[in-house]
Amino acid sequence: MKTLYFEGCGWGGADVSIATIGNCRCRTAFTNEKGEKIYLEIDSGYQYNKKNKKQIDRYWLHVSFCFYITDNEDDCNNSRISLDWQDIKENYDYSFDDILKFVNNILGCSFDEIVVLPSLSGYRVHADNKDYNFMEDYSHNSELIATRKELYETYYKLEKSEGKEFPNFSLWTDEENEMQLHLLRHYNGHNKHWTITINPSYKSWIVEETFLGKYAC
């Protein structure tokens, strides 16, 4: 199975996310069959019911960015891929099947499926120094992702138990060590940072307060 992974970079809880592919905005960097490197960012347009303006009849595919990655400083403008925007709007829905069809038919690929990754998957398209992380280099580990989600739920419930109506901690994966997470919690006048290291069994973890060097902690 040849899979095209997308980074889910919008809010997974949005109405459009729930009604379509799990995220309202997605992006990825990949290589097509010709060896061309491509950056693609997509979201959804809305087609409202003509009689009931509050009812959405269709979510159509909107391509925000689509360009070749050539290491030019301004690939976003200088290496854009020419697309028939009206054809895309009329014939491609914001759905798994139509996004797959778009990528294969228009961008010269042969993927079997697309997968929209959650925020704690560890895949981030944009790297340091205006570089890109290609999805081909991403190693998908569903068991590890499940453990990260469990950690998120743990701290969400902790902050709720402490009286926060809207928990506002930050949890993200380390860019170099996939078994490590960073936790940032906010207090009155200061922040605290912890490094969380997941054990190889994925069943437990070690939490250590560490110096981050930014965000006042």
Over residues 105-141, the pLDDT tens digits come to 999 999 999 999 999 999 999 998 889 999 999 999 9
155 in any annotated domain: yes
Question: Are 84 and 113 found together in one domain?
Answer: yes
User: What's this model's pTM, rounded to 2 decimal places?
Assistant: 0.92
Mean per-residue pLDDT pooled into runs of 10, the chain (217 residues): 96 94 98 98 93 89 98 92 96 98 98 96 92 96 97 97 96 95 94 97 97 91
The pLDDT of residue 129: 84
Question: Are 60 and 123 found together in one domain?
Answer: yes
Question: Are 27 and 118 found together in one domain?
Answer: yes
Question: Are 131 and 146 found together in one domain?
Answer: no
Question: Are 131 and 37 found together in one domain?
Answer: yes
> What 3-state class would DSSP assign to 89?
helix
Q: In the chain, which ranges are E strands?
A: 3-8, 25-31, 37-48, 56-68, 113-117, 170-173, 180-187, 190-198, 205-209
Domain count, the chain: 2
Domain termination residue (choose one: 108, 137, 166): 137
215 in any annotated domain: no
Give residue 152's domain range. 142-209
Question: Are 104 and 191 found together in one domain?
Answer: no
